[in-house]
């Protein structure tokens, strides 16, 4: 969920790198099962820092073939109060890493995911004149195209996060942050979750009843869907503690040959900030970016531990063998946990 930042057309600050910190002080253990996740020598490393604007906010798409990362910035403003979001490609092969701001026509990009060969699927939140929806971007040319921008003719609000099922269907969340933050028209749809099947064109609303549906992911066996609700923080920046700041779990059931989300249940309440981006590892543990870093829960909803990063983490992604790339607004961190930890999305 975007926060405010400053931006100018010519800001291209130098990115800096620090050495690894082998102290375990950045981890907090709540359950002894977290020690197996942490491993024997966990480390945290500051890969890049941009003091001019918060370049590391959302998406976090790791491309193993090129050892690179795509990330989206927080909201930025120019002198005319125009809002903009930058997309950056991070080359992880070099030290210090190199960060290239790319030119593409994804309007107000947010969440993203690997999508076939040489493509990333981005959530474009849209603008007053450009549709919100799912945008496919080439990682070669960086050209993008809108794949889906409406629900049966009604425009999406501000599509936020996305996940792809192994059957090819695309599941995504659509809160109203764009309208609240002044870059999208009045909503035409409730804040809810959708399933779109590109092969048939069929689209369905699969879950509602959220304040601000945000992050979404599947369990490794795809029998459970996790969705975060970040209603505690509205787009105007207001924070009300009694509003929802939780993760909900749903079972995926098949009725008449179609998937439905059933057995909605509270999986976890985030005690710090809001649970934004969400991912699973291959053991089914659930990770979410929160106000003090990344929280890790067991598949049964027990808080196992935290990766503490000052300022919090909106989103993150897994790399290889226990790597996590954490997006910390002005900073990009690399966390290394046990080599046995592998993200469920890529299985690395």
Reported as a single tens digit per residue, the pLDDT across 179-208 is 999 999 999 999 999 999 999 999 999 999
Task: Supply the pLDDT for residue 24.
Answer: 55
For 8-57, write each residue's pLDDT tens digit. Answer: 332 333 333 333 344 459 999 999 999 999 999 999 999 999 999 999 99
- Could you tell me the CATH number of the domain that includes residue 85? 2.120.10.30
The three-state secondary structure class of 178 is helix
Name the token pair of 200.
């048939």
Inside any domain, residue 306? no
Task: Supply the pLDDT for residue 4.
Answer: 36
Inside any domain, residue 8? no
Inside any domain, residue 241? yes
pTM passes above 0.85: yes
Helix, strand, coil distribution of the chain in percent, nearest 5: 5, 45, 50
Inside any domain, residue 53? yes
For 233-281, write each residue's pLDDT tens digit. Answer: 999 999 999 999 999 999 999 999 999 999 999 999 999 999 999 999 9
Q: Count H helices, E strands: the chain?
A: 2, 29
Separation CA 131–CA 40 (nearest Å): 48
First-to-last alpha carbon distance for the chain, in angstroms, is 27
Inside any domain, residue 103? yes
For 285-303, write each residue's pLDDT tens digit. Answer: 999 999 999 999 999 999 9
Inside any domain, residue 123? yes
Inside any domain, residue 62? yes
Domain housing 226: 48-283
> Total structural domains in the chain?
1
Inside any domain, residue 26? no
């Amino acid at each position: 969920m975007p926060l405010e930042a400053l931006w100018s057309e010519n800001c291209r600050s130098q990115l800096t790198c620090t050495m690894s910190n082998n102290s375990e002080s950045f981890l907090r253990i709540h359950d002894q099962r977290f020690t197996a996740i942490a491993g024997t020598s966990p480390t945290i490393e500051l890969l890049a820092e941009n003091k001019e604007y918060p370049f590391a906010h959302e998406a976090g798409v790791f491309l193993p073939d090129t050892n690179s990362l795509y990330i989206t910035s927080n909201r930025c403003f120019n002198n005319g109060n125009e809002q903009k979001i930058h997309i950056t490609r991070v080359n992880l092969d070099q030290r210090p890493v190199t960060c290239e701001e790319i030119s593409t026509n994804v309007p107000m990009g947010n969440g993203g995911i690997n999508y076939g060969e040489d493509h990333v699927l981005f959530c474009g939140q849209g603008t007053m004149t450009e549709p919100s929806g799912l945008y496919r971007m080439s990682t070669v040319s960086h050209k993008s195209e809108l794949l889906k921008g409406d629900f049966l003719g009604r425009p999406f609000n501000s599509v936020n996060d996305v996940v792809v099922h192994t059957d090819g269907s695309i599941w995504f969340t659509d809160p109203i942050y764009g309208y609240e933050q002044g870059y999208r028209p009045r909503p035409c749809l409730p804040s809810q979750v959708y399933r779109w099947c590109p092969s048939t064109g069929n689209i369905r609303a699969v879950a509602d009843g959220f304040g601000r549906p945000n992050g979404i992911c599947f369990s490794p066996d795809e029998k459970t869907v996790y969705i975060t609700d970040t209603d505690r923080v509205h787009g105007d920046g207001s924070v009300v503690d009694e509003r929802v700041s939780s993760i909900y779990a749903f079972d995926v059931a098949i009725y008449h040959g179609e998937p439905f989300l059933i057995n909605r249940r509270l999986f976890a309440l985030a005690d710090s900030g809001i649970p934004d981006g969400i991912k699973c590892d291959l053991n089914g543990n659930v990770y979410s970016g929160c106000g003090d870093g990344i929280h890790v829960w067991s598949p049964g909803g027990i808080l196992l531990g935290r990766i503490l990063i000052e300022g919090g983490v909106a989103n993150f992604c897994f790399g290889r063998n226990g790597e996590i790339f954490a997006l910390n607004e002005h900073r990009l961190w690399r966390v290394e946990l046990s080599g046995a930890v592998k993200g469920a999305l890529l299985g690395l």
